[in-house]
Amino acid sequence: MEERFLQLLDEHQGILHKVCRLYRDRSVDREDLFQEIVYHLWKAFPAFQARSKVSTWIYRIALNTALAGFRKTSLPVTLSADLPQFISPISNDAGSQGEKLYAAIRCLKEVDRAILSLYLEEMTYEQIGQIIGITPSNVGARLHRIKNKLKTRLKEK
């Protein structure tokens, strides 16, 4: 069973990394959260009967773990009004765009982050609703509002 679980985890570990990056600011906290999610997945694995997709099951437990955990308050970040002297040569590549995206998503409320991440994973409103526990129409309404907010955030950056 352990090997089957590890295989599954290996195939879907991207989900865990994404959830950790969405809900924790510091790398040490992300590492802690990663381990906590693995712990809860492993404990829940014997009861997993593949009625839902593996990714849905993993997302459900990962989000539950991330939102139920107590976070240490991050240190306040002070932003300078001056432009930086040096511009990173990789500032326009996919990594930088991804950083921008994650930074914008982290400004959203916790549940909105979850809804948006599931949407970005190409899940249907029905699937998102099942994971979050709201109706598909509510998912649509929330997503509309989230997209507008995100658009504004990304324009600001």
Partner 1 sequence: MDLDGLKSVWQSQEIPAKSMTQMREMVREGRHPALARTRKMLVYEAIAWGLFLVVFYNAFDGHLKPIWLNGLLVVAFLFLLAHHVLGIRLMSKHKANESLAVSLEHYRTALKRFAQVNFISRLLAIGSLLFFFLYGIEWNTKKYFLSAGFVLIIVIQLYALNRIWLSRISDLAAYWQEED
Are residues 128 and 119 in contact, defined by beta-carbon separation less than 8 angstroms?
A: yes
Say if CB 123 and CB 32 are below 8 A apart: no
Window 60 to 79, contacts with partner 1 (CB under 8 A): 60-61, 63-65, 67-70
User: Quick one: 14 or 83, whose CB is closer to partner 1?
Assistant: 14
Residue indicated by tokens 């991804």 = 98
107 binds partner 1 (CB under 8 A): no
Q: Is 36 in the site for partner 1 (CB under 8 A)?
A: yes
Q: Which residues of 70-100 are buried (b: 16+ CB within 10 A; e: fewer)?
A: eeeeeeeeeeeeeeeeeeeeeeeeeeeeeee
The distance of closest approach from Cβ of residue 105 to partner 1 in the complex, given in angstroms and rounded to an integer, is 9
Smallest distance from the beta carbon of 11 to partner 1, in angstroms? 11
Q: Which residues would be at the binding site for partner 1 (CB under 8 A)?
A: 2, 5-6, 9-10, 13-14, 17-18, 32, 34-36, 38-40, 42-44, 47-48, 57, 60-61, 63-65, 67-70, 94-95, 97-98, 100-101, 109-112, 114, 117, 120-122, 130-134, 142, 145, 147, 149-151, 154
